Structure formats: C-alpha cells, structure tokens
Structure 1
Amino acid sequence: MEKLGGYRLVALLGAGGMGRVHLARAASGRLVAVKTVHEHLAADQRFRERFRREAAAARSVAGPFTAAVLAADPEAVRPWLATEFCTGPTLGEAVAALGPLPSGELAALGAALAEAIAAVHAAGLVHRDLKPSNIVVTRDGPMVIDFGIARTAAEESLTDSGEVVGSPGFIAPELLTGTGEPGPAVDVFALGALLAYAATGRPPFGTGPVHQVLYRTMHGPADLDGLAETLGARDGAAGWRELLGSCLSQEPGERPTVAEVLAACAAWTEGDPWWEREAVSGLIRRREEEVAALVANAPETTATVTATATTATATATEPADTRADEPADAVPAPRDATVPRLPAPTAPLVPGGGATVVSGGRGASRRRFLRWGGAALAGGAAVGTVAWLSSLTGRDGEDADAGASGTPGPYARGRALWTRDIGEALPMRYGEALYLRAGDGLTRLDPRTGVVAWSHPVDGDITDVVLGDELVHVLSNRLSFSTEIAALDAATGVAKWSADPMVNNPRRPLELRGAGPTVAVDGNRSALVVAEDVLCVVTYASYSTAWERRTNRESPWRAYGYDPRTGAALWFHQGARAEVAALRRTDDRIAVAARTVSATPATPAAPGGNDDGSGTDGPLTVLRAADGTLEREIPGGAAYPESYLGSRGVRHYATGGRLKAVDLATRRTRWTRDLSEGETDDTTITPTATAGLVHTATYDTTKALDADTGRTRWSRAGTGLPLVVAGGLVYGRGRAPEDAETAGRRPDWGLHARDAATGDLVWAAETGEASAVVVGAGGGAAGTGPGLVHVASGGVLTTYAAPELS
C-alpha cells in the first residue's frame, strides 16, 4: 500500500477541487483520515503557504467536541494533513433518518456544539463553515469537523478580495455583504441555523437555487414557524424561538455570545444525551460495521479503492465555481467512482504487525474491528474530521440516490416485456386484469402480453369506473347531457344492463320527472361507488368558479341507489345545494362530502378518487346503503370524508399547507406538520401506513415519515410524483441514477423503485416522464407469476417485470 509520512493509505474516500481524502492507518493500527493536495496546487507557493498556516491553526484547537489534526507536511511534493477518524452519521443524515429533535435533545445538541465553538474561538479562530455535513454524530457526541477555512485575523491578507467563504443557508449576512469582520458572531449565526434545521428538519432560509437562499439570508427573517410543531406549544417553544431568532439576527451585535447560547441550552437539556439513545446509536453502529467492511475489503496492493457505505454515498458533482482553496472534504467524489453495496461484516482480522487485514473480499466483525481500531472509534478521545463519506459532497440531508449525481448502489435495470400505444388513456389494474380508461371507452388487456380482451366504446365521456371480479361498472356523461350507467361482464365486456338515472329512475320524485333539460335537473357531473349490495350514483353541479356558483347555486346533489347485479332502482335521496367533493362507501354506509355554495374551493378532484378534502367546508352526509335514508350529518366533516360513523383506523392527508394524521373514529388530529418550501402545491401522501411509515411525494422529492409521529425517516431528492407504494417498494419518477449531468434537471428520465423502509434504490427503468404507474400481479390463472409494473409515458404503455426486495 502507498504510504505518506508513516500512514498507510487504505481506501480513497473522495476527491475534489483541492485534492483527495483517504482512509489510512497509522503504524499503531489507528485509523486516520489523510488529505492530500493536488500537485498543480502544491506548485502555487501562495497556496502552499496558506495550507501551512491553516494546518498549524487547526492543530491549536482542542475540545471534547472538536476534531484534532495529528500531523501535516506542507513541504511534501503532495502536501498532506492527517486527522483523527471517527464513525457516525452527519447531523444532516441523522435528522433525515430520525426526524426533527424535541426540545431536550435539541438542547443537548446545542450545548455540545456551543462548547465546540467556544474551543475554536479560544484558539483565536473562527470556523466560518458550520453546517450539518460538518457535524459528525459519534458515540462521544456531535463532533465539529473541518477547520480547512478557519482563520485568524492576521491570515485574512491571504484571502482573495471579494471572496466569500461559507455554505448557503448557514453563512452570516455580514460575510455576504462584506460589511463586517468575520468574528465569533459569524459562528453564532451558523449555530442558530444548525439548531433551527435540527428542530424543524429544514434550513431556516429555505432551499433552492443558491442566489435565492443567499437573498433570503441577507433580507430575512428566518423561517422558524415549525418550532411549535416539533417542540410543542409550551413555554419551551417560545424560548427556542427567541433564542434562535436572536442568533439569526441580521446584525452581529444583536446576537448572543457563545457562552450565552451554551448556558441557555444547558438549562433546557433533559435526560440522557441524544447521541446515547438507541435510535442514534443504531445509526452509529451501522456506520461502524460499514467501516469495518470497507477496511476488510480494501486491497493490500493499492490505495485507489473508491468505496462507500450502504446508505451514504458521495453524490454531488463538482460545482463549476469550485475554488482551488476549498477544503478537500467539502467537495464531491469523482464522477467515475464505483460505489458497491458492502456485505455484512463477517470475516475475522489477523492480529499483529499493524493488524493486517486478511484479503478475500469478506467483511470484518464490528467487535473485532473496534478492538483492532482501538481508541480511534471506541475511546473517549475518539473524534474525527471526516464526516463519513456523504460529508465529502458538501451537501446536507441528502442521500446518494437523492442527490443530483453520483453513483448509486447496485440496483436492477427494468426490462420491457411489451409496449402499446394508448394515447391519453390511463392504465388500471384489478386482480388478473389490466384496463385502459380513455375518455370515450374502456378496454381490457392481458397484463402479460398487452393483447386486447375486449373494448367498450362510450357515446360521451367516461366519468368514473368501478372494477370488480364479475362486473365492471362504467359511469359516463352522454352527449345528450344525461348520465348513463353500464354494467359489463368483466370477462367478456358484454353489457349486462344499463340505465339512465336522471330520466328513467322510478324512485325519483314525480315533480322532477321530465322537468326540462336534464342538465338543469341533476347537474352536469356525477360520481359512482359500489358497495356489497348497492350501486350509488351521485349527480351534482359544479361550484368551482364564481360563474358556476352564481348559475348553479340552486342545484342540489342527488343520490340514486341501484342493484349492482340487475340495475333495479332501489332508492333516491336529495341532498343540499352544494358540489360533491368526495364520495366514499363501506358495505353498509355511503358518505357524501359536500362543498357549500359559499365556499371557494381549489379545483376539485374526482369525487370517487382520493381527494384529501382540501377546500371543503361543508358537511359529511352519511346514508344507509340499503335504503338511502339519512343516518347522520357531520358539520364540517367533508374535510375528512373517510371519517364517518363506524370508521376505524388512521388516515393521512395533505391539506391546507400541512400533513395530518387523523383518527377516523374521532376525527381528531394525531399529529400535524407544516409542509416544507416547495411542497405545498403538489404534495401527495399515502393515505395509510406501510410497515409503520407513510410516504409523501412532490414533483421531485420523496419522503418517508413515521406514521406515529410524522417525523422524517428518510428523504430522497430527484424522485417524485406519481407516488405508488406496493410490495414494500415506493415507485416514482426519477433522474438517471448514474448520470452526473442530471443535476437540477426534471425527474423525467424514468421510473425508480425504492425500498419503502430505507429509501435505497432497488430498481430503475428508462421510461421517460411517467404520467401514471400501476403495479399488479402477473396475470394468468389466479394472478400467478411475477408481479408487473405498467408505466404510461408519452402516449405509450410499457410493462415491466416488477422488482422484488431481496
């Protein structure tokens, strides 16, 4: 293996504009991180002088929550610097995995970070680049790393005029405007931003293009609205708002001192330290096992192994404006990096002679690795300066697959089984059948081959379809402005019966029969549900626009009950003057959610669809399915149409700029959280939980939330709507997994399937921008065979074999 100053290089962790970062081993067997500088930069004497001064400055920092520089050689052909190595997630990874911190845990974090900053300032330095990826959460607490841009005032002459050092969202305004000295208040500002991020799960100045984040930073104020949601509506939340608001003040003189922040946080700390609790220590253990496997798999003859952990990879491409003086561990890994998914550590280590690792590609046990690595991982003095792998990117709270670039772990490539032109039709699956719903007809296909089984044309527009084992019910608005129901044999497509509820229904009151144009009688919209023994059609008029509210204000909704097998009319019920927002049913009840005449709703979804009820202020009317009689009317209940008499369980909604978990039996909110910037308009949430998680998606971000608390468990950028959860996987549009050039582009490359529990990429197919995704059984007798994924994109339907979790 290659050596530098007595350190044997084990594996390449990352590379960027300044140089490379290696995992290395000292003669004692201790693991260290070694930064090496590119030779072309080392040829610049001014750069070499700066490197010399910064290495000396960093060695003067000493504290229980700060990193330590072990050795450096600024005069070498390739200048290098060795630092202590630790294992653990970055703060960004921990918050993404475990969600925002409650008050006591946040206070423990704040006290530790304040103590670390105090140690930096005691050495006459200012860190100037505090951010989530520069905080490593270890067994011994959160460690502040990377002093590559810390400076004393005397060294400012070495900084180019007009240069800004720091990270968007955490850099103080005075560094952006150049109006103030980079004193201790700079780090207080960054500390406030860090704690706000840990408390809410989002940066206090938002996300998006850098220039927008910097503009919000300079003009404020910080976004602290989520504090009450996380910390509780008690005095503690108000105290945190006051403390963090003062830390994030635009004026340096108005910010508290580090000692004042430390005192406040120490007073609010409760219970055991956050990093000692099982949820966090579990993440740390996983990192330790990954490091053990990394070392055990490292070849003895080369130091150019590029490696990563299962859940943390180097992702971001090197930005175009990367400066030569940026620290090596704040830059991305090379684009051609190979990123294997490491095996579970199992192989033993051979002791003696510097603890040489047995070659052979097997892992090392965590217990043996810790004993071999000594204090580097387990000792009380174990601190580090390399945020485990993902910190090399300089990106916070973003995983490899979520980032704009980088190489994902191993995943399966989707292989198309068949394709078919479908125009604007949308696929639907039910049991062994695949259907295409177009505006003017319904078609059944063989899901394995795409062969047409039957097709049913409609004289008008299909408004709703309910699929079943034996019958398929199709609701359509005909060109004559009447609504028609057709019951089709599911196997053959032959019509079993049809009915026009507005004209021919004998249960409708006599005064309404033949009363002028049918559109004036029953409105121009309709929805359909089928319970066990009743089919219910609801007709209504639209109140979505001001003009419609004026012209349709006298139009009530009406419900018609039919026998689903024969079409016999069973009952009629007339409701209020309102638009129907949603229609739900159980075997014995039907619930109609109404938007009142005076409401000004958002554009409504189809009443038979998965409407979240947003924009409704009307009642929820519960009818008995057997006879259509009114059982109960729930004032304001239309917001949660699934919550009616007899309902059980919890359902999740994205409404009014918030995510909510609602107990259906009591209609009480179990938890709620504000949507992050960019989520409000298009966020979708899965109604029910899968393995304790609910999943949300926007145009380009997918998240998993703890179903009990609403805390974020994982988040992936670059993948988003449409959102489908099936077979333990989350499907959504995504960018090309391996193409570094897709940074910031639309997620229109194809379809991603991710492990619903971890967010890891499992499968991907180049489909183009998917408009609909349907996952179902393989088809054939009893749906045997592997599952299938049907993707509609650009007027073409493509079917793939569905991936499976290993």
Structure 2
Amino acid sequence: MDPLDRSDPKRIGDITLRGRLGFGGMGRVFYGVTDDHEAVAVKVIREDLVARAEVRARFARETDALRTIQGPHIAALVDASDEDEERPWLAVEFVRGLTLKEFVETSGPLSEADAAALGVVLAGALRDIHAVGLLHRDLKPANVLLGQDGPKVIDLGLVAFAEGPTDLTTTESTLGTPACMSPEQANTPKQVTSAADVYALGATLLFALTKHYPYDGGNIAAMLMNIISADTQPNLDGLSDSTRPLFVKMLAHDPAARPTVAQSDDRLKELCGRAPLKRLVEATYVERESDPEEVGPPPRPPRKDLSAVVRPGSVVAMLADRLRSVYSANAAF
C-alpha cells in the first residue's frame, strides 16, 4: 500500500482513507476504514473521466451489480455514493492477500488438485452472478484475490445482462482482458452469453496450472487475431492427460461446444477431491508485505484518574462510618 498523496481525499462518505491500493484505466482504489472499523477498498472515478457519461454509466452498472449479487466468494459492497454525486465512489470489503496472478508469478503454478478447488470456487461465483441475469465478462487471474477466508472475485465493472445485447460497449470497442477473452467477446462484444464466462474460467485456471494463457502474440492485436481464428488452437502445454479434456471443451472456439458452468463445476469437483477450499486456502494464502495492518475494535476509552478527587484513605473512612451507623441502628431494635 502506498501513502496518500497531497491531492487525495482524506475522507469519503463515512470512510477514512489511509492509503492507495492501485489504479486502473477508469479510476483509483484506496484503502479505507469505516466509522464502524471495517476495512474496505474504495474505488473512485478518475477526475479527468468523471464528466464522461459512458464512464459514469459503467461505474453505476458495477455498483448496481454489487447491490444485486449475493455470494460468499464475491467481494461484497459495503457502501456507495448517490448516483448524482459529483465524483461517484463505491466501497467493497477489503480482501487481504495476493491476487492469483501475483501468486503464480511469485510462487509458481498451483497443483492440479488446488487449481481444481479454485475452479470450484470460481464456478460458484459465476453461478451467483448468472443467477441474477448478469455476466462478469472480465474474469482473469488479476481479478481473483486469494484471501485468508478463501478466494474472492472482484471487479464487476464489465458486467452485462445475460440476455440480449448490452449498451455497455459499442461495435467499435472491445472491453475486457484479451488474455482471457473468448473469441466471440473479442469479435462481437455485444452478443456474448454465459459461455464467455466459461471460457474466461478456463483461461484463468489454465494460467493457474501452467503460468501461461491460451493464446499469445507479439502484441495485443496479434493476440486478438489468434483468439478469433478458428484455425488457431489454444496452447494447452503443461496440462496432464486427466485435465486436458476439460480445458479443450472450456476453451472451445464455438460457444455452443463449451460446457455450462454447472457441468464445469461437476468435473472440477471430481478433480479436486475432498475438502477443497481448506486445502486451497492453506496452499495459497500469502499476505502482501505492503498490506495495511489489521483493523481491530475501537480502543477502550481511558479510565478516569480519580486519585486527585478522592483519596483511598477517605473512601475507607467513609465506608467504616456507614457500617457503624447501620450496626448501631440495628442494635437499637
């Protein structure tokens, strides 16, 4: 975590900001603590983009999605600004730990059992997103946090309705991360279905297992050309014979040839065996050196020093006088 800059706000809503967590193409993310002592990640639209209607619409869509989706493996919305606020913001629970991308790049690929266990968790998150008629559209290793309570999916900035075209993109623009983008999302982004999320799940797990993505290229344009070409097969090097058939299906060029999220989940459960989440957390949870300290309960108020007001000796004498008076009164009866 980096310290706040002089130009950064010190407080947003009921949240005190304590540092910078990162930034992206649309906004900046801060670490903050609510007045109820809950650690949160606060996303704010960049000042130079706040006046753009399409950026505000995308931000509002993410906020609405977070309000709608309920799931144990999706970072939950804690608070958000009003729609008409000058500079919109949203706050989600702060998940302490590395992203899947960071973990693999620093510690190496996951075992087959742990990658399958991760797949079960991510499939569950996608199922919760799809259950409310939405698509994630940007599932990737950098959007999976390996927290101490289990993996959680973050960044719903590209959510779209599962049925029908979305107004989030135009025919001239492609939003998403090319490395994990399905052929249809790269080619016709306004006409994607839940099969695009299945493809992204396969690409994310492929990276977790092999440290590479389905397609590569000298630049983004070359990568996209490989992705949309039906004649170019995905790179499945490093997969075992037991896992390869599932990835062939999940990364199929034709969306209709891919399994559903539920079918993928069933096969992943077979591959991971028993107690998948506990083993996965133990194998992957690593805290960043730059992560902020844990937020504890509010400090106890200091005890008042009464020594200057009442001396111990006077208290004892007062109690003795009361006992004598009570004893004398009782003795009279």
User: With structure 2 as the length reference, what TM-score do the two structures score?
Assistant: 0.79
Per-residue deviation, 1:46: 4.6
The equivalent of 1:340 in structure 2 is none
* 1:12 maps to amino acid: R
- Indicate yes or no: 2:68 matched with 1:63: no
* 2:234 maps to amino acid: A
Per-residue deviation, 1:217: 1.5
- Indicate yes or no: 2:210 matched with 1:200: yes
* 1:30 maps to amino acid: E
Q: CA distance change for structure 1 residues 179 and 164 in 2, over 3 Å: closer, same or farther?
A: closer
Partner-residue secondary structure (3-state), 2:135: coil
- Alpha-carbon distance in 2 for matches of 1:179, 1:54: 18
* 1:138 maps to amino acid: G
Correspondence 1:228-239 to 2 at 5 A: 228=240, 237-238=241-242
The equivalent of 2:142 in structure 1 is 133
The match for 1:14 among 22, 31, 37 is 22
1:216-256, Cα deviation, whole Å (9 max, x unpaired): 2222311112113xxxxxxxx33x11111111011000000
* 2:213 maps to amino acid: P
* 2:196 maps to amino acid: V
The equivalent of 2:304 in structure 1 is none
Structure with bigger gyration radius: 1
The match for 2:87 among 61, 67, 78 is 78
The structure whose residues are more often strand, as a share, is 1
The 8 Å contact of residues 14 and 22 in structure 1, kept in 2 or not, is answered as yes
Aligned length, in residue pairs: 287
The equivalent of 1:351 in structure 2 is 299
1:482-538, Cα deviation, whole Å (9 max, x unpaired): xxxxxxxxxxxxxxxxxxxxxxxxxxxxxxxxxxxxxxxxxxxxxxxxxxxxxxxxx
Partner-residue secondary structure (3-state), 1:97: helix
Partner-residue secondary structure (3-state), 1:187: helix
Per-residue deviation, 1:203: 1.3
The equivalent of 2:284 in structure 1 is 280
Q: CA distance change for structure 1 residues 132 and 207 in 2, over 3 Å: closer, same or farther?
A: farther
The equivalent of 2:252 in structure 1 is 249
The 8 Å contact of residues 39 and 77 in structure 1, kept in 2 or not, is answered as no
Per-residue deviation, 1:82: 0.9
The match for 1:98 among 107, 111, 124 is 107
* 2:11 maps to amino acid: K
The 8 Å contact of residues 77 and 90 in structure 2, kept in 1 or not, is answered as yes
* 1:21 maps to amino acid: V
- Alpha-carbon distance in 2 for matches of 1:211, 1:45: 27
The equivalent of 1:291 in structure 2 is 291
Identity of aligned pairs, percent?
Answer: 37
Q: CA distance change for structure 1 residues 34 and 241 in 2, over 3 Å: closer, same or farther?
A: same
- Alpha-carbon distance in 1 for matches of 2:142, 2:217: 15
- Alpha-carbon distance in 2 for matches of 1:2, 1:269: 45
Correspondence 1:275-354 to 2 at 5 A: 275-277=280-282, 279-281=283-285, 283=286, 286-287=287-288, 290-293=290-293, 351-352=299-300
* 1:139 maps to amino acid: Q
The equivalent of 1:222 in structure 2 is 234
- Alpha-carbon distance in 2 for matches of 1:159, 1:100: 34
Q: CA distance change for structure 1 residues 181 and 62 in 2, over 3 Å: closer, same or farther?
A: same
The 8 Å contact of residues 42 and 48 in structure 1, kept in 2 or not, is answered as yes
- Alpha-carbon distance in 2 for matches of 1:36, 1:180: 26
The match for 1:41 among 29, 49, 52 is 49
The 8 Å contact of residues 54 and 151 in structure 1, kept in 2 or not, is answered as no
* 1:162 maps to amino acid: E
* 1:254 maps to amino acid: A
1:583-631, Cα deviation, whole Å (9 max, x unpaired): xxxxxxxxxxxxxxxxxxxxxxxxxxxxxxxxxxxxxxxxxxxxxxxxx
Partner-residue secondary structure (3-state), 2:247: helix
- Alpha-carbon distance in 1 for matches of 2:100, 2:25: 24
Per-residue deviation, 1:349: 9.7
Correspondence 1:442-521 to 2 at 5 A: none
Per-residue deviation, 1:272: 4.2
The 8 Å contact of residues 44 and 89 in structure 2, kept in 1 or not, is answered as yes
Partner-residue secondary structure (3-state), 2:205: helix
The 8 Å contact of residues 174 and 180 in structure 1, kept in 2 or not, is answered as no
The 8 Å contact of residues 92 and 133 in structure 1, kept in 2 or not, is answered as yes
Partner-residue secondary structure (3-state), 2:78: strand
Partner-residue secondary structure (3-state), 1:89: strand
- Alpha-carbon distance in 1 for matches of 2:284, 2:12: 34
The 8 Å contact of residues 78 and 91 in structure 2, kept in 1 or not, is answered as yes
After TM superposition, which residue ranges in structure 1, 4 or more long, deviate above 4 angstroms?
none
The equivalent of 1:263 in structure 2 is 266
Gaps of 5+ in 2: 1-8, 302-333
The structure whose residues are more often helix, as a share, is 2
1:128-167, Cα deviation, whole Å (9 max, x unpaired): 1111101111122221110011112577224333211111
- Indicate yes or no: 2:97 matched with 1:88: yes
1:351-402, Cα deviation, whole Å (9 max, x unpaired): 248xxxxxxxxxxxxxxxxxxxxxxxxxxxxxxxxxxxxxxxxxxxxxxxxx
Per-residue deviation, 1:15: 3.1
- Alpha-carbon distance in 2 for matches of 1:93, 1:194: 13
User: With structure 1 as the length reference, what TM-score do the two structures score?
Assistant: 0.34
The 8 Å contact of residues 215 and 226 in structure 2, kept in 1 or not, is answered as yes
1:105-126, Cα deviation, whole Å (9 max, x unpaired): 2211111111111111112111
Greater shift, 249-258 or 119-128, is seen at 119-128
The equivalent of 1:112 in structure 2 is 121
Q: CA distance change for structure 1 residues 250 and 140 in 2, over 3 Å: closer, same or farther?
A: same
Q: CA distance change for structure 1 residues 21 and 261 in 2, over 3 Å: closer, same or farther?
A: same
* 1:191 maps to amino acid: L
Q: CA distance change for structure 1 residues 90 and 208 in 2, over 3 Å: closer, same or farther?
A: farther
- Alpha-carbon distance in 1 for matches of 2:61, 2:237: 42
The 8 Å contact of residues 73 and 124 in structure 2, kept in 1 or not, is answered as yes
1:378-430, Cα deviation, whole Å (9 max, x unpaired): xxxxxxxxxxxxxxxxxxxxxxxxxxxxxxxxxxxxxxxxxxxxxxxxxxxxx
The match for 2:160 among 147, 151, 155 is 151
Per-residue deviation, 1:350: 7.6
The 8 Å contact of residues 75 and 95 in structure 2, kept in 1 or not, is answered as no
The equivalent of 2:175 in structure 1 is 165
Partner-residue secondary structure (3-state), 2:291: helix
The 8 Å contact of residues 9 and 24 in structure 1, kept in 2 or not, is answered as yes
Partner-residue secondary structure (3-state), 1:214: helix
Partner-residue secondary structure (3-state), 1:227: coil
- Alpha-carbon distance in 1 for matches of 2:125, 2:198: 12
1:35-69, Cα deviation, whole Å (9 max, x unpaired): 11133433234543443233112221111211222
The 8 Å contact of residues 62 and 159 in structure 2, kept in 1 or not, is answered as yes
* 1:275 maps to amino acid: L
1:334-356, Cα deviation, whole Å (9 max, x unpaired): xxxxxxxxxxxxxx998248xxx
Q: CA distance change for structure 1 residues 46 and 265 in 2, over 3 Å: closer, same or farther?
A: closer
Correspondence 1:381-780 to 2 at 5 A: none
The 8 Å contact of residues 104 and 271 in structure 1, kept in 2 or not, is answered as no
Per-residue deviation, 1:266: 0.9
The equivalent of 1:122 in structure 2 is 131
Structure with the larger RCO, 1 or 2 (CA within 8 Å, 6+ apart): 2
Per-residue deviation, 1:280: 2.3
The equivalent of 1:391 in structure 2 is none
The equivalent of 1:174 in structure 2 is 184
The match for 1:32 among 26, 37, 40 is 40
1:185-207, Cα deviation, whole Å (9 max, x unpaired): 00000111111111212112135
- Alpha-carbon distance in 2 for matches of 1:216, 1:45: 33
- Indicate yes or no: 2:223 matched with 1:213: yes
The 8 Å contact of residues 15 and 35 in structure 2, kept in 1 or not, is answered as yes
